Amino acid sequence: MDNSIVSALIVLSAIGVLAAIILYFIAQKFKVIEDPKIDDVDEALPGANCGGCGYAGCRAFAESMVKAGTMEGFFCPVGGNDLMKSLAPILGVEAPEKAPQIAVLRCNGSVKNSIPKFEYDGDMTCSFTTSLTAGTGGCQFGCLGGGECVDACDFDAMYMDPETNLPVVKVNCVACNACVEACPRDILELRNRGPKEKRIFVACINAEKGPLSKQNCTVSCIGCKACVKVCNFDAIDVNNFLAYINYEACTLCRKCVEVCPTNAIHEISFKPRKPKADKKEKEEVRLVVK
């Protein structure tokens, strides 16, 4: 009786010790020396794994950044400048400063502005619809209203406006770029948020000649260059009958907004202008601020 207990004890202990030794050697052999900084950085990151930085996830971002030893070219759009500053001491380098950005919808082809010419019935995915038709409004550049961008948003920063059938970006957008990549027509763009959320941009990407684009949509950019003439800062380019405002150069003077004959240039978060008697009522600007 006693013997059996003793032998059991010995055998089990022997197995335990043996296993421990094997484990130890295996652990030694496959040991990966990892910079403790990676853990520190990873901990500080938001952990949403949204891919907005261009890496597969937060961990990959931390690894690449620590390995590179610099913060140049690395930016977490979710955490923004504050986060990058807090990461700087870990790596012992200067944090790059980047203007905060937001996704902007460069289309205003709502059901009112771009009247549907037929009814679409079937799968509503934008990436499929765009291969089948130009879109119910007839514009082959504009928003299809399928909401693929909204589905791609991990931060609950977008929703579809049922009235206009266009997506709306909310102010909590972190500029992770997911919606920009999801849109098969490249309508969304990341632009600087601007001081106090003030932004001016061309809400159209129609590259057709004016008369053609006007057939489909009342608020399309017709490439008339009126905005270019009035801009004192060379911030506006017109290519393929389409104006584009460079947000780096734009000083938010709002002159272009006034002269645009189709109201294709949108201003956001500005105080209303002093009313002018004969001025047509401005196209309702979908405020981003909720």
Residue whose structure tokens are 């393929």: 240
Shortest approach of other proteins to residue 132 CB, angstroms? 5
On whether the CB atoms of residues 71 and 79 are closer than 8 A, the answer is no
Q: Which is nearer to other proteins, 120 or 159 (CB)?
A: 120
Identified binder of other proteins from the candidate list 49, 64, 81, 133, rule CB under 8 A: 133
Tell me: does residue 134 bind other proteins (CB under 8 A): yes
Q: What angle do CA 228, 283, 197 make, to 5 degrees?
A: 70
Q: Which of positions 178-237 make contact with other proteins (CB under 8 A)?
A: 208, 212
Shortest approach of other proteins to residue 218 CB, angstroms? 18
For 285, residues 6+ apart whose C-beta sits below 8 A from its C-beta are: 266, 267, 268
Tell me: does residue 148 bind other proteins (CB under 8 A): no
Instruction: Give the phi and the psi of residue 188 in degrees, each rounded to 5.
Output: -80, 145
Alpha-carbon gap, residue 209 to 224, rounded angstroms: 10
Q: Judged by CB under 8 A, which stretch of 124-132, 195-203, 224-232, 258-266 contacts other proteins?
A: 124-132
How many of the chain's residues bind other proteins (CB under 8 A)?
20
Alpha-carbon gap, residue 54 to 115, rounded angstroms: 38
Identified binder of other proteins from the candidate list 20, 22, 132, 171, rule CB under 8 A: 132
- Give the DSSP H/E element, type plus range, for residue 244: strand 242-245
Q: Which is nearer to other proteins, 128 or 159 (CB)?
A: 128
Tell me: does residue 49 bind other proteins (CB under 8 A): no
